[in-house]
Amino acid sequence: MCTRAGAGQSGLPALWDSGDEDLWEDEEEETAQEPRSRCLFCERLFNSAEDTFSHCKSEHQFSIDNMIQKHGLEFYGYVKLINFVRIKKPTAEYLNSLSSPLPWEEEEYLKPVLEDDLLLQFDIEDISDPTNVSYSSELSDTKSLLERLRHAEQRAKLAEIGLATAQEDLQKMKQFAQDFVMNADVRSSSSSNAIADLQEDEDGVYFSSYGHYGIHEEMLKDKVRTESYRDFIYQNLHIFKDKVVLDVGCGTGILSMFAAKAGAKKVIGVDQSEIVYQAMDIIRLNKLEDTVTLIKGRIEEVDLPIEKVDIIISEWMGYFLLFESMLDSVIYAKDKYLAEGGSVYPDICTISLVAVSDMKKHADKLTFWDNVYGFNMSCMKKAVLPEAVVELLDPDTLISEANVVKHIDCHTASIKDLEFSSDFTLIITKDTLCTDMNWGTSGHVTRPLYSLRLGFSKEPKWEAVAGYFDIFFEKNCHNRVLFSTGPRSTKTHWKQTVFLLENPISVKIGEALEGKITVQKNRKDPRSLIITLSVNNIKQTYSLQ
């Protein structure tokens, strides 16, 4: 790393006077001919880490010395910083503005990005101003040798870290596979504890899934979703003018940019997924960096650069509204950061249920198992039935009025309100035989012939309950905006959530079907839901995950 000038003053004549001296010099000449140190911010290559850091400071206004001192980085923290910059390619301005928590604290950043990266082999105790004697060509041979030994030791430490991380990941994968295949009824308490220990990793998987552009593309292309937010913001400019806005789970930053264009004084977007780095580029491309600041991290863990905000916006809704539990984070942000008199948008949400008659779907999902190529596989129903199905329903399969089973006011809701039980009544409004006509035969087949061909009774059947949600932007709005994810509305990426009944129930037009729904978080995976329906003295529990 250091040059050999002044070697004659070394205190080790026996070592340097041997033929080994030529080997050292040859090695250094090779290094000089093959630059291996790449700039952190551009594609330029350098012969040494010292030259790289000097370039970063003069050309990119980034001082590694200041960064280490500011955050009190030790060797491992320094390594994570270098690898983080190699992977994420943030700007120097972004790095200089960081405060705790640091985005490179994850263990994944200990793994080298570039092979034989000279910056990872550098002793951070020697990092200082380029004019410092440690950067000069007059270092003693003794220090040069010690540096080589330290670099070798550091490479060994990195290898040990990589091995330990790989072994830990392998053990977790083994434990997860074991718990997955074991019957839930006979799991030991130790297995349950193992799954609980994995919840943090599962949370990481959740945020990781939002790091890929595909899911954001799907959401942005959902016109009902995106245009509803846009219309609410642009048609109610008075709400956002000169206000401070917090965007929880900002994703690509679309809501943050809407708010900035609507006249917000300051917008802060927070997101834990990797997409936030692309969002930073998007903000810069649209020249909104003076108004919009994006922060990577969980809203529960980051430190915002402001104590209170006037408005919280978020697109937090999941399947059946509450799947993914992101409303928990919005409620946390509301309780901690929302100023008195401030607003949360959307502000009103409802969950509704409706009865469905779709005997073909019921047959495809459940009756199918009664005879599979001549074999009885009906035991499979016990595995199929408890899984809620997310799909688009044909509105012609609806046979009842809808019933709202949950009303949420985001200004007053608490996290405990998101688990609930509610009685419901569904009034049958439609003879299901006209629905049956849509399932597979031509529209010219008469009702009696159709019923005879498929073996269906003329009596209406109730085969499923479907759930969906409606969203309202109302508080202080001159122009209120709402949208629905119901089967009679324009389709959205949320679709509907369907709960199949094991045995169809005969119903009559005008009949009132009474039941009870209970919604709880899955204790082993709090982002998923456990939903229990009680109908006609029959109780069935479903999972949505």
Most confident of 52-61, 143-152, 446-455: 52-61
Same domain? 417 vs 466 = yes
Closest CA to 39 of 64, 71, 67: 64
Element (H, E) at 425: strand 420-427
Q: How far is CA 203 from CA 23, 206, 273, 380, 526, in A?
A: 52, 5, 11, 30, 9
In this predicted model, what pLDDT tens digit does every residue of 96-122 receive, in sequence order?
888 778 888 887 888 888 877 888 877
Tell me what the pLDDT averaged over the chain comes to. Answer: 78
3-state SS class at 421: strand
Among 29, 160, 217, 324, which one carries the catalytic annotation?
A: 324
pLDDT value at 435 more than 50: no
- Which is more confidently placed, 337 or 159? 337
DSSP 338-353: EEEEEEEES-EEEEEE
Looking at the structure, do residues 274 and 221 belong to the same domain, yes or no?
Answer: yes
Q: What are the tokens at 234?
A: 């642009």
Average pLDDT over every residue of 283-311: 95
Q: Which residue would you say has higher pLDDT here, 208 or 423?
A: 423
Burial class (CB in 10 A: 0-12, 13-18, 19+), 53: buried
Tally DSSP H helices, then E strands, for the chain.
19, 17
For residue 151, give the amino acid letter. H
Report d(CA 31, CA 40) in Å as an integer: 19
Q: How far apart are alpha carbons 545 and 522 in whole angstroms?
A: 9
Residue 511 lies in a domain: yes
Closest by alpha carbon to 407, among 392, 417, 393, 396? Answer: 417
| CA neighbor of 478 nearest in space, from 261, 309, 262, 245 | 262
**Catalytic, out of 315, 419, 459, 463:** 315
Locus of tokens 């909104």: 288
* pLDDT of residue 285 exceeding 90: yes
């003053």: which residue's tokens? 9
* Residue at 187 is within a domain: no
Specify the pairing of strand 244-248 against strand 266-271.
Answer: parallel
Asked, for residue 327, whether it belongs to a domain, the answer is no
Out of 113-122, 127-136, 138-147, 533-542, give the one with best mean pLDDT: 533-542
The answer on 306 and 370 residing in a single domain is no
SS3 for 490-526 is: CCCCCCEEEEEEEEEEECCCCCEEEEEEEEEEECCEE
- 513 and 452 part of one domain: yes
Among 159, 175, 191, give the residue marking a domain's end: 159
**Shared domain check, 531 and 386:** yes
Domain extent for 17: 7-159
Report which of 47, 174, 166, 172 is spatially closest to residue 110, judged by C-alpha positions: 166
Q: State the Cα–Cα distance between residues 180 and 123, nearest whole angstrom.
A: 45
* Residue 337 belongs to some domain of the structure: no
Please name which of 489, 363, 491 lies closest in space to residue 436, comparing C-alpha atoms.
Answer: 363
Residue 129 three-state SS? coil
| Residue 126 within a domain | yes
In tens, the pLDDT along 486-540 reads 999 999 999 999 999 888 888 899 999 999 999 999 888 877 899 999 988 889 9
Burial environment of residue 6 by CB neighbours within 10 A (0 to 12, 13 to 18, 19 or more) = middle
Same domain, 63 and 109: yes
Instruction: Look up the CATH number of the domain holding residue 501.
Output: 2.70.160.11
Mean pLDDT, residues 147-164 taken together:
60
One domain, residues 258 and 353: no
Residues 85, 136 within the same domain: yes
Gap between the Cα atoms of 340 and 13, Å rounded: 75
511 part of the active site:
no
Question: At a CB cut-off of 8 Å and minimum separation 6, what does 20 contact?
Answer: none
**What per-residue string of b and e applies to 109-138 under the rule 16 or more CB within 10 Å gives b?**
bbebeeeebbbbbbbbebbbebeeebbeee
Please answer whether residues 337 and 309 qualify as being in contact, where contact means their C-beta atoms are separated by less than 8 angstroms.
yes
Distance from C-alpha of 106 to C-alpha of 79, rounded to nearest angstrom:
11
One domain, residues 513 and 431:
yes
Query: Cα–Cα distances in Å, from 538 out to 262, 419, 465?
Result: 52, 21, 14
- How do residues 178-189 score in pLDDT, each as one tens digit? 555 444 443 334
- Beta strands 538-544 and 525-535, pairing class: antiparallel
Percent of the chain with pLDDT over 70: 71
Question: What six digits make up the tokens of 311?
Answer: 């408005």
Tokens of 506: 């005969």
Under DSSP, the state recorded for 47 is S
Please state whether the peptide bond connecting residue 346 to the residue before it is cis, i.e. omega within 30 degrees of 0.
Answer: yes
Confidence band, pLDDT 50/70/90 cuts, at residue 139: very low
171 HSE (CA, 13 A, CB side)? 8
Q: Which of 265, 298, 315 is where one domain is finished? A: 315
In a domain, 168, yes or no: no
Residues 397 and 268 in one domain: no
Q: Are residues 222 and 85 in the same domain?
A: no
The alpha carbon dihedral of 73, 74, 77, 78 has a sign of positive
Residue type, 416: K
- Is 218 marked active-site? no
CATH of the domain at 215: 3.40.50.150
Judge if 456 and 499 occupy the same domain.
Answer: yes
- What does the pLDDT read at residue 23? 47
Number of structural domains, the chain? 3
The reported pLDDT for the residue numbered 152 is 61
Rounded to an integer, what distance in angstroms lies between the CA atom of residue 499 and that of residue 432? Answer: 18
Does residue 519 form part of some domain?
yes
How is 71-104 classified by DSSP, letter by letter? Answer: HT--HHHHHHHHHHHHHH---HHHHHT--SSPTT
Which of the listed residues 265, 293, 315 is the one where a domain comes to its end?
315
pLDDT at position 375 is 92
Residues 405 and 396: their CA atoms lie apart, in Å, by: 22
At 240, the amino acid letter reads F
Residue 244 lies in a domain: yes
Compute the distance between CA of residue 189 and CA of residue 187 in angstroms, rounded to an integer: 7
